[in-house]
Amino acid sequence: MRFLHTMVRVTDIDQSLDFYCNKLGLHEVRRKEVPQGRYTLVFLAPPGQENIAEIELTYNWDKEPYGEGRNFGHLAFEVDDIYGLCERLQAGGVVINRPPRDGYMAFVRSPDNVSVELLQ
């Protein structure tokens, strides 16, 4: 298993990029515009640490208020066998929010309701 990224929802992508890049010194690793979902993903990392762990800024094009705790989205881990892991987790009583029906992505929930993304 390898830690991939932490997702943070942002309300102003330019202001957020200014903070994370210009002020904190991270840099943009990649960007994904998703018109059909009406959101933008921007992945950031410290220079030289692109393959260690990233911050994913998620900007939803349609404005919605995020209450306390709604800015944090999920943790993500790369796994070798997503189906086997989800079967073991479910057998252990873990809630599977989104099963790996597409073969490479699933979401499970921690005991404290933290969303955890599993990617293969």
Sign, CA torsion 13/52/3/99: positive
Q: Say if residues 44 and 29 touch (Cβ distance below 8 Å).
A: yes
CB 73 within 8 A of CB 115: yes
Alpha-carbon distance of 120 to 116, in angstroms, equals 13
Positions marked active-site: 117
